[in-house]
């Protein structure tokens, strides 16, 4: 009896692990609008959330530039993983030094769509192959489109359109360079950071991101060629 139960549990675990790999080709279809694990959590706990899907071409390029330069400057040149940054983080961890994040946009999208938000080694190990599979199956434009539509920008606010409306009262297509930079620097901590009421540190970081976005032409060719 226990052997049979264990067998079914293993099969169930394998099915759960395999499901994202089956969904990723489906999500390549432009008419599919995926939701994140956090959105599902909101539904399951009875909380309301806001997300308005918007196509890639209806998002201000300056927001795309700002997010890319803030979150993943090598987005167009890697295959889902920035191995140089990841290896540096691993080396620092092994030496007992403080580590910085090395998550690419593909890795963050894998987490948002399929994995829990808790920071664990297991989650990171699951993120890496999922990110590589996404990058192989989706175009860079589709990957960025999904990321910008599932990312959490404020408590209960998901996607660039809902965030632009909530923070600045404008559609995502009409965001200014400064608004885009402020939204980009909100992403790492949307619970504590407020793009509409930024701290001095946020404003300083946003100025840096705004400057980098202006100079990002060579870095974003995979999105706007």
Give residue 126's pLDDT: 92
**55-81 as b/e: b if 16+ CB within 10 A:** ebeebbbbbbbbbbbbbbeebbebebb
What is the 3-state composition of the chain as percent helix, strand, coil, each rounded to the nearest 5? 65, 5, 35
Residues 2-224, CATH architecture: Orthogonal Bundle (1.10)
CA dist 55 → 92, 153, 199 (Å): 39, 17, 31
Give residue 99's pLDDT: 43
Q: Which residues of the chain, if any, have pLDDT below 70?
A: 1-3, 5-13, 15, 89-101
Query: Which single residue is written with the structure tokens 């100079």?
Result: 215
Contact 109, 93 (CB under 8 A): no
Residue ranges covered by each domain of the chain? 2-224
Give residue 74's pLDDT: 92
Give residue 91's pLDDT: 57
| Dihedral sign for Cα atoms in the order 3, 4, 5, 10 | positive
């Amino acid at each position: 009896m226990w052997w049979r139960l264990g067998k079914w549990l293993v099969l169930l675990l394998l099915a759960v692990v395999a499901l994202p790999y089956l969904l990723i080709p489906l999500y390549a279809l432009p008419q599919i609008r995926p939701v994140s694990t956090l959105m599902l959590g909101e539904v399951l706990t009875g909380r309301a959330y806001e997300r308005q899907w918007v196509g890639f071409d209806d998002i201000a390029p300056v927001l795309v530039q700002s997010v890319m330069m803030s979150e993943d400057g090598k987005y167009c040149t890697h295959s889902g993983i920035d191995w140089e940054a990841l290896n540096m983080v691993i080396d620092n961890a092994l030496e007992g030094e403080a580590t910085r994040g090395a998550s690419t946009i593909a890795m963050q999208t894998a987490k948002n769509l399929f994995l829990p938000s808790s920071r664990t080694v297991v989650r990171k190990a699951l993120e890496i192959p999922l990110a590589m599979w996404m990058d192989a199956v989706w175009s860079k434009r589709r990957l960025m489109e999904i990321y910008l539509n599932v990312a959490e920008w404020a408590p209960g606010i998901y996607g660039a359109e809902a965030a632009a409306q909530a923070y600045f009262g404008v559609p995502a297509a009409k965001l200014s360079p400064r608004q885009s930079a402020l939204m980009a620097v909100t992403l790492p901590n949307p619970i504590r950071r407020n793009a509409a009421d930024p701290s001095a540190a946020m404003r300083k970081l946003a100025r840096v991101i705004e400057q980098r976005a202006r100079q990002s032409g060579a870095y974003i060719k995979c999105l706007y060629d």
